[in-house]
């Protein structure tokens, strides 16, 4: 139960105040931090925190206590009696609230996690870590954010609520270091008839921005917005994907590759069918390969890869072979026969299995769970759901990329992928409970509760209310610092090393700078 200021002062007058409560007071009431530092029950770790992050008076008292030049404050008998009376009332109220509304995550601490330790307030963010407001570029509903290099962010979205208000797709670039607008482009919606309108499709990367409006394609210089070329492609209204310097256009039966610096040229064309396994565009291996459902090709050349000639999945998804994986050396082959599927780590150089077989026998290919992986992680995670007459259970299992052997397994409430923060796998369930798993053991290294989780460059950012806290995924999920969010109701997303906060209608965006 959260204390008010009056009760906090009474608690500080008690010799029985717990380290946990003192830590809460130090976090919630900066003006009382000096009194916390003087209290005889203040733990060493809280003194250390106060000596570094407390108010000037608290820093001085904590430093003196650590040096042994100032003794702890003596708490009088009169103060103790007053506290006991108040404490009894608080305990009764707290127990009643606990019994009525205690959330399940409070009663489900995993074994080995000591929830009785005082929660030391998280250090404030370093002075150079701030939210930088990005220029308002006229977007009412923000759709996408791209990092195109050289600290340039490209934002896309719609300008109005509906097309009858004269809305259009806005494409704009901002400087990630200053927040200033670099350029913007308004692209009219395509009238498809029957009061149906289609916005432009935008892809960006490698210093270029591709804008597809119907069959017309424009390529813009990401830094200046200058139109480098305009042409048309015959993709029958299908999607496009930008992979490195190659634009892939899909028309439902074929995929056509165009060099980004000359869209009028066709690099290669191949049959393509959307698969029930793997990514919908077939791209894997950090953009190196494409599984066309008719073999694996090199994206840059269209030539057959050194593996994957057998890639093909039946239309009902019950049989066939597909390939997927986050990196050039991290590939998984899925082989299904009449609904029974095996998975194995695959060596692209030798076109053969590497390590132990990952067996998921009895699971239909069309309902196989996704591969949860990150190129920087030494392991990946697969989930499997088992259903019997009375219950359904889902298990997530981590496997080593090097050996294919399982590292740990743990229960989860869904087959959705979690997120990787360095060597830590972070999973949030439907009740907003968060568990952080290390790479070698099924024992969680951290559990808690958060409104949202976003990871970027080895750091996990957990939001609770209006506060975002950073955790080090490469160092036991240690707390790093906290910072207030720039506005209520923001959504966080990680974009190539940038943490972006956005709100919609109207749209505003911020980038976290200095981290």
Q: How far apart are CA 21 and CA 372, in angstroms?
A: 40
More confidently predicted of 435 and 384: 435
508 DSSP β-pair partners:
503
pLDDT value, residue 385: 73
Nearest to 75 by CA among 6, 3, 11: 11
Q: Would you place residue 432 in the very low, low, confident or very high pLDDT band (cuts 50, 70, 90)?
A: very high
pLDDT in tens, 54-97: 788 888 898 888 887 766 666 554 444 444 454 545 544 444 44
pLDDT in tens, 288-306: 999 999 999 999 999 999 9
Could you give the angle at which helices 77-101 and 5-12 cross, rounded to 10 degrees? 130
| Spatial contact of 353 and 332, defined as CB atoms under 8 Å apart | no
pLDDT value, residue 2: 62
pLDDT value, residue 367: 47
What is the β-pairing status of strands 254-259 and 283-284?
A: unpaired
pLDDT value, residue 234: 78
Could you give the angle at which helices 44-53 and 56-67 cross, rounded to 10 degrees? 140
More confidently predicted of 279 and 239: 239
For residues 148-177, average pLDDT:
82
pLDDT at residue 225 is higher than 50: yes
pLDDT value, residue 79: 46
| Spatial contact of 290 and 325, defined as CB atoms under 8 Å apart | no
pLDDT in tens, 312-360: 988 776 788 999 998 878 899 988 887 777 888 999 999 998 766 665 5
pLDDT in tens, 227-270: 999 988 877 767 889 998 899 999 888 999 999 989 889 999 99
More confidently predicted of 126 and 191: 126
pLDDT in tens, 104-144: 333 333 323 333 344 555 677 888 899 999 988 888 888 88
Nearest to 209 by CA among 168, 264, 256, 149: 149
The DSSP line for 489-504 is T-EEEEETTEEEEEET
pLDDT in tens, 171-187: 999 999 999 999 999 98
pLDDT in tens, 370-426: 789 988 888 999 887 776 667 778 888 898 888 888 889 888 888 889 999 998 999
pLDDT value, residue 474: 92
């Amino acid at each position: 139960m959260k204390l008010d200021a009056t009760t906090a002062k009474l608690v500080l007058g008690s010799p029985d105040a717990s380290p946990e409560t003192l830590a809460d007071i130090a976090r919630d009431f900066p003006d009382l931090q000096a009194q916390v530092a003087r209290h005889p029950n203040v733990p060493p770790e809280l003194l250390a925190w106060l000596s570094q992050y407390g108010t000037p008076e608290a820093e001085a008292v904590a430093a003196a206590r650590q040096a042994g030049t100032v003794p702890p404050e003596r708490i009088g008998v009169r103060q103790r009696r007053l506290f006991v009376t108040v404490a009894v009332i608080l305990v009764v109220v707290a127990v009643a609230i606990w019994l009525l509304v205690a959330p399940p995550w409070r009663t489900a601490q995993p074994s080995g996690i000591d929830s009785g330790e005082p929660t030391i307030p998280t250090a404030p963010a370093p002075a150079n870590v701030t939210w930088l407001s990005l220029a308002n570029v006229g977007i009412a509903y923000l759709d996408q954010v791209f990092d195109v290099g050289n600290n340039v962010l490209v934002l896309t979205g719609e300008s109005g609520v509906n097309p009858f208000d004269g809305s259009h797709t806005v494409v704009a670039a901002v400087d990630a270091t200053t927040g200033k607008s670099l350029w913007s482009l308004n692209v009219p919606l395509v009238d498809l008839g029957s009061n149906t309108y289609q916005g432009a499709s935008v892809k960006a990367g490698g210093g270029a921005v591709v804008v597809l409006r119907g069959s017309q394609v424009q390529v813009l210089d990401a830094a200046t917005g200058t139109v480098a070329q305009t042409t048309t492609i015959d993709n029958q209204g299908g999607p496009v994907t930008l992979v490195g310097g190659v634009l892939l256009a899909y028309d439902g039966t074929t995929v056509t590759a165009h060099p980004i610096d000359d869209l009028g040229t066709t690099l290669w064309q191949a049959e393509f069918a959307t698969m029930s396994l793997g990514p919908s565009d077939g791209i894997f291996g950090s953009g190196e390969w494409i599984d066309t459902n008719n073999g694996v090709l090199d994206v840059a050349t269209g030539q057959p890869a050194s593996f994957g000639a057998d890639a093909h999945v039946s239309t009902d998804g019950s049989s066939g072979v597909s390939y997927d994986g986050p990196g050039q050396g991290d590939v998984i082959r899925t082989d299904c026969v009449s609904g029974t599927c095996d998975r194995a780590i695959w060596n692209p150089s030798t076109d053969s299995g590497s390590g132990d077989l990952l067996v998921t026998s009895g699971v239909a290919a069309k309902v196989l769970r996704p591969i949860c992986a990150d190129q920087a992680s030494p392991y990946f995670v697969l989930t499997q759901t088992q259903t019997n007459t009375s219950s359904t259970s889902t298990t997530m299992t981590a496997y080593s990329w090097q050996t294919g052997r399982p590292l740990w397994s743990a229960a989860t409430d869904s087959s959705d992928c979690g997120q990787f923060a360095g060597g830590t796998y972070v999973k949030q369930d439907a009740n907003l409970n968060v568990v952080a798993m290390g790479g070698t053991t099924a024992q969680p290294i951290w559990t808690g509760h958060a409104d949202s989780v976003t990871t970027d460059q080895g750091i996990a950012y957990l939001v609770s209310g209006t506060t975002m806290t950073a955790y080090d995924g490469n160092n036991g999920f240690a707390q790093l610092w906290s910072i207030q969010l720039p506005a209520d109701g923001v959504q966080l997303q990680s974009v190539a090393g940038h943490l972006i906060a956005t709100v919609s209608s109207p749209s505003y965006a911020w980038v976290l700078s200095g981290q």
